[in-house]
Structure 1
Amino acid sequence: MNKEKWAIVTLSQDGVALAQRVAQQLDDKMCHIYTKEKYAKQNMQVFDTDITSFFRSIMDQYDIICGIMATGIVVRAIAPNLGHKSSDPGILVIDTKGDYVISLLSGHLGGANDAARLLAKRMDAQAVITTGTDVKGSMAVDVLAEKLNCVIADFTAAKDVTALILNNEAVALVNQENCELDGVVLPNNLELLETSRDLEEGKYAGVILTSMSRQKPEFAIPSVQLVPQKLVLGIGCRRDTPGEKIIAAVAATLAELQLNEKCIKAFATIALKQNEPGIEEACKQFKAKKVIIPDAMVQMVQSRFDGSDFVFKTTGLYAVSEPCGYIASSFGKCLLEKRKMNGITLSVWLPEK
């Protein structure tokens, strides 16, 4: 498992001393300390740009960025560099005495709230959490999505439904996809239903629906769709197939199946294709991971699928897409057998559990 990456940024001598303590307490994380040259100690990294430009350069490189400086400095530094809550890192601020750990940005999706609690506990400091649902001991839609391994289809809708939860309105959770709820403690005003047919008219102010469907059902009340990231796509392609072609093929395939593009969990392929630029681009576009299946494992199951002598000549295997998807989905259900499209072969798989 990859370690969570933290950047610790400071602008003073006292801050450097505290940064060293923070890094020591986070020995289970990958920590890099950044400061100005005149304050730098051994193994610290120096930056010579202004603080706003520096934050811009690291925003997409770390899971958590911790500023040991005044909150106002951090606010001004990150403001021009913010993208969206679904992609911004968690931002923390610590005073130079180390008394308070403030969750400043991306408290839920970026993990800043949990990071602040963790660091405060290890530093014997006070975590400062201001997100409304945390203050009330409730749950935001984005937190629920994370616990269910889902992504949010519409963040505006998520904000509206979160407001209902925060205001103690009755909200229904229609778990159409049977997402795992063990260990998830729902707020008292969030009621679990199996299907939308169980919705009683006038009883609920909002709906949260887990669904992989491309089209969300229309409800008479505010609603948000949580899309489970379950699908595995087995993929093979000719060498140097452009990323835009692969992306277009994937989009067309899921449209045909009436499945939301956000439900892609992984692309599975063989070692020969692990550095294929087009597959890399598709993984980035669909925010999916890449799974490499060893040739020996493909050979064990390839007899289940139609093979190709041409594929064998180029890869040493009789099939790529279907065996890879089958294995990467933990021998799941095939939603679409291999589909050939201009040098691209795709198959679509859904894990049984």
Structure 2
Amino acid sequence: MIGLISATAAGAAARDRLAAAWPERTRVYDGPVGDAVRRAFAECEQLVCFLATGAVVRLVAPLLGDKADDPGVVCVDEGGRYAVSLLGGHGGGANELAREVGALLAAEPVVTTATDAVGIPGLDTLGLPYEGDVAGVTRALLDGEPVALESEVVWPLPPLPFAAGGDRRVRVTDRAGEPAAGEVWLRPPTLVVGVGASKGVPVEEVLGLISRVCEDAGLSPRSIAELATVDAKAEEHGIVEAAARLGVPVVTYPAGELAAVEVPNPSDAPLAAVGTPSVAEAAALAGGGELLVPKRRSERADGLPAMATCAVVRRPGRGRLAVVGLGPGARDLLTERAKAELRRASVLVGLDQYVDQIRDLLRPGTRILESGLGAEEERARTAVAEAREGQAVALIGSGDAGVYAMASPALAEASDDIDVVGVPGVTAALAAGAILGAPLGHDHVSISLSDLHTPWEVIERRVRAAAEADIVVTFYNPRSRGRDWQLPKALGILAEHRAPGTPVGVVRNASRADESSRLTTLGELDPAWVDMMTVVTVGNTATRNIAGRMVTPRGYRWQESELSRQAAPSEEGAR
């Protein structure tokens, strides 16, 4: 919950805008400001104070405890010009909150945390448990000193400017131990603990067994990702409570699925009890991975039979491939989700001219793999291969990456051994349509006239189908130096079914600095106006040029009623 505190009418107005925008996230604190701040500090995870920073510093100073537990605090000035991250930039989420508040109130976010200021992800913000000299290693990264990365297990990390040499390092490991001076150990959630248990097993017995197994195997409990068991034990209190204390979920599998998992130590007892010869080993192995610790039984001080078993599997981190659409070229049409994926990627793969568009958004340490025109399949293979190595990869394309772009060849290469995320972008057809007016107001289709990968016979059949169906058509890749006859041929097919006066929009470099557009007709269009940077939109029989804008009505009935209304005099006019 975010506590909102204000002292003046102007502050209250901005406060109320936040409260209206985030009704489920915020709580307004009224009354004397000092009391309001103290109550919000005790009750909320974050605060937004519409007060001077000096006043907030004096109010919260006596309340400060540990930076891991204190709420994040953001201050907004009286004029609503700045949203200042004052306290808990990382741990309290104040840096991100300042950006959110700034976006909502049109205020400039002020973030002074060193890593955020220079675009380096903080080691304490990676979502992984960590140990060691975070401050010292982070300072070395900021100062440009060499910091080595040692990855004992595969895990997709965001870009960091690692370099060989020096006496500081970041170690990615699920092994037990203590970091040496100048080291930070990151604990990725790679360990799956399979648990079998008798009814009524005490939680202490389950936790004690897991602790002993990890200690004997030299594994860190902080890298446990989940406890896995059979469906029949989904509500077993000892297992559920053990997972809660470890801060991990319980994942369950049907007995039939576990029975099909090959294990080294099957047993008749679980087969008779829950219908599978193995619970601990099979549940741990069900999601794949390497069996590090075979089934172990708990030990009871009272001499009674063991009530718990467990096994441990290492499930390596999966690489991540984000296929990102950059939009038509204008920076303000690049989505926030796309920007976040670009900052998250440790490896960027793309066409060189597209890389140049967003190079300034990349974080230090991002490895860039760029190539020229005509290497689409090679880029797709490269991106998938990097993800299979456990990297966080962004593969970029213009417009929407799934429309005549990189998503299709990449997903044709990818299998289920990596995670794939699609990030939509504004397509060229949509960008051009917005410039022209509303040409895509009813059914429409996009057709590429490039026959480099598609036989012309197939393209012609599609154009003819669109012509006969009276569908608005946007042509991609309409004309190049080596392909100058396809566009006239396609327009001729459309002309068999549409009048010469049918509106046609021609947009070149939509949304870019040298954007140009013109509205013409099917009979007057000169193909010489068109190149590979152009999209051509041909209207249907209902499309009209209205006040210099290309408009396709939402439906023929709507069109008839609108035309009738426009043709008839208004009541005021009749008077």
TM-score scaled by length of structure 2: 0.46
1:9 paired to 2:4: yes
Letter in 2 for 1:227: R
**Residue of structure 1 equivalent to 2:311:** 347
Aligned counterparts of 1:88 and 1:272: Cα–Cα separation in 2: 41
CA contact (8 A) 2:194 2:229 kept: yes
> CA 1:301–1:96 in 2, change beyond 3 Å: closer, same or farther?
farther
Which fold has the larger relative contact order, with Cα–Cα distance below 8 Å and residues 6 or more apart in sequence?
A: 1
> CA 1:240–1:83 in 2, change beyond 3 Å: closer, same or farther?
farther
**Residue of structure 2 equivalent to 1:185:** 159
CA contact (8 A) 1:231 1:266 kept: yes
> CA 1:132–1:292 in 2, change beyond 3 Å: closer, same or farther?
same
**Residue of structure 1 equivalent to 2:288:** 331
1:230 paired to 2:230: no
The alignment's C-alpha RMSD in Å is 3.3
Q: How far does residue 207 in structure 1 lie from its aligned partner after superposition?
A: 1.5
1:244 paired to 2:204: yes
Letter in 2 for 1:204: G
**Residue of structure 2 equivalent to 1:213:** 175
CA contact (8 A) 1:334 1:350 kept: yes
Letter in 2 for 1:67: V
Letter in 1 for 2:131: A
Q: Write out per-residue CA displacement over residues 40-94 of structure 1, whole angstroms, 9 at most, x where no aligned residue.
A: xxxxxxxxx86435533444xxxxx132343444774486464452x55544333
> CA 1:78–1:307 in 2, change beyond 3 Å: closer, same or farther?
farther
> CA 1:23–1:51 in 2, change beyond 3 Å: closer, same or farther?
closer
TM-score scaled by length of structure 1: 0.72
Q: How far does residue 106 in structure 1 lie from its aligned partner after superposition?
A: 3.1
> CA 1:274–1:94 in 2, change beyond 3 Å: closer, same or farther?
farther
Give 3-state SS (helix, strand or coil) of 1:150's partner: coil
1:79-118 residue pairs with structure 2 within 5 A? Answer: 80=63, 82-85=65-68, 90-95=72-77, 97-118=79-100
Letter in 1 for 2:93: G
Aligned counterparts of 2:202 and 2:12: Cα–Cα separation in 1: 46
Aligned counterparts of 2:275 and 2:28: Cα–Cα separation in 1: 48
Give 3-state SS (helix, strand or coil) of 1:186's partner: coil
Give 3-state SS (helix, strand or coil) of 2:187's partner: strand
Aligned counterparts of 2:73 and 2:211: Cα–Cα separation in 1: 34
Equivalent in 197, 216, 226 of residue 266 of structure 1: 226
Give 3-state SS (helix, strand or coil) of 2:278's partner: coil
Q: How far does residue 340 in structure 1 lie from its aligned partner after superposition?
A: 1.7
Equivalent in 132, 145, 158 of residue 169 of structure 1: 145
Aligned counterparts of 1:95 and 1:158: Cα–Cα separation in 2: 32
> CA 1:122–1:50 in 2, change beyond 3 Å: closer, same or farther?
closer
Q: How far does residue 205 in structure 1 lie from its aligned partner after superposition?
A: 4.3
CA contact (8 A) 1:92 1:101 kept: yes
Question: What percentage of residue pairs aligned between the two structures are identical?
Answer: 24
Q: How far does residue 108 in structure 1 lie from its aligned partner after superposition?
A: 2.5
**Residue of structure 2 equivalent to 1:279:** 239
Aligned counterparts of 2:70 and 2:290: Cα–Cα separation in 1: 34
Give 3-state SS (helix, strand or coil) of 1:120's partner: helix
Aligned counterparts of 2:58 and 2:205: Cα–Cα separation in 1: 40
Unaligned runs of 5+ in 1: 1-5, 40-48, 60-64, 194-202
1:24-103 residue pairs with structure 2 within 5 A? Answer: 24-26=20-22, 30-36=24-30, 51-59=37-45, 65-70=46-51, 71=53, 72-73=55-56, 76-77=59-60, 80=63, 82-85=65-68, 90-95=72-77, 97-103=79-85
Letter in 2 for 1:185: P
Letter in 1 for 2:270: V
Give 3-state SS (helix, strand or coil) of 1:299's partner: helix
Letter in 1 for 2:172: T
Q: Write out per-residue CA displacement over residues 171-204 of structure 1, whole angstroms, 9 at most, x where no aligned residue.
A: 22223323224xx3323xx31x6xxxxxxxxx41
**Residue of structure 1 equivalent to 2:251:** 292
Q: How far does residue 347 in structure 1 lie from its aligned partner after superposition?
A: 1.4
1:118-197 residue pairs with structure 2 within 5 A? Answer: 118-143=100-125, 146=126, 149-154=127-132, 157-181=133-157, 184-187=158-161, 190-191=162-163
Q: How far does residue 302 in structure 1 lie from its aligned partner after superposition?
A: 1.8
Letter in 2 for 1:254: C
Q: How far does residue 95 in structure 1 lie from its aligned partner after superposition?
A: 4.0
Aligned counterparts of 1:276 and 1:13: Cα–Cα separation in 2: 54
What is the count of residue pairs matched by the alignment? 303
CA contact (8 A) 1:68 1:96 kept: no
Aligned counterparts of 1:307 and 1:12: Cα–Cα separation in 2: 68
CA contact (8 A) 1:66 1:94 kept: no
Q: How far does residue 127 in structure 1 lie from its aligned partner after superposition?
A: 0.7
> CA 1:264–1:126 in 2, change beyond 3 Å: closer, same or farther?
same
Give 3-state SS (helix, strand or coil) of 1:153's partner: strand
Q: How far does residue 339 in structure 1 lie from its aligned partner after superposition?
A: 1.6
CA contact (8 A) 1:55 1:78 kept: no
Aligned counterparts of 1:231 and 1:186: Cα–Cα separation in 2: 25
> CA 1:335–1:205 in 2, change beyond 3 Å: closer, same or farther?
closer
Q: How far does residue 345 in structure 1 lie from its aligned partner after superposition?
A: 1.7
CA contact (8 A) 1:11 1:69 kept: yes
Letter in 2 for 1:9: L
Letter in 1 for 2:312: V
Aligned counterparts of 1:280 and 1:97: Cα–Cα separation in 2: 51
CA contact (8 A) 1:236 1:269 kept: yes
CA contact (8 A) 1:164 1:205 kept: no
Unaligned runs of 5+ in 2: 299-305, 319-575
Q: How far does residue 130 in structure 1 lie from its aligned partner after superposition?
A: 1.3
CA contact (8 A) 1:242 1:278 kept: yes
Letter in 1 for 2:311: S
